[in-house]
Amino acid sequence: QKEVEQDPGPLSVPEGAIVSLNCTYSNSAFQYFMWYRQYSRKGPELLMYTYSSGNKEDGRFTAQVDKSSKYISLFIRDSQPSDSATYLCAMRMTYNTNAGKSTFGDGTTLTVKP
C-alpha cells in the first residue's frame, strides 16, 4: 500500500466551478503538506504548503489538513481554464533522518472547460 493515495481522475469541470482535490496518507509522522501544480511537459511548481493541521488560503486556493483523519484537501474557487493541470500532493516528515524526503501522490489531472 502506498504511503500517499491520490485519485488520478481525470476531473473535468466547467469554468467557475469549485474544485476539490484530495489525498489520504498512512504515515502519522508527516508534518509538512504541500500541493504542486504541473502543466503538461513541465516540472511541478509549489502552489501551497501547510504545517501540521489547519487551513491556509491564498487567493482562489485553500489548503486543508486533517491529521486526525490523515486527509488533506485543496479547494479551487472560481476555477479558470488556466487551472487545467495535474495537481500533486506531497508530504514530508521533520526529524533529521528523513528531513530531505518528500513523498508524492500520483497526481490528479484537472481540466476546466470554458
Binding residues (CB under 8 A) for other proteins: these are 6, 8, 32, 34, 36, 41-46, 49, 88, 90, 92, 99-107
User: Which lies closer to other proteins via its Cβ, residue 17 or residue 103?
Assistant: 103
Closest separation in Å from C-beta 20 to other proteins = 19
CA distance linking residue 76 with residue 100, whole number of Å: 29
The burial of 73, by beta-carbon neighbours within 10 Å (0-12 exposed, 13-18 middle, 19 or more buried), is given as middle
Closest separation in Å from C-beta 98 to other proteins = 10
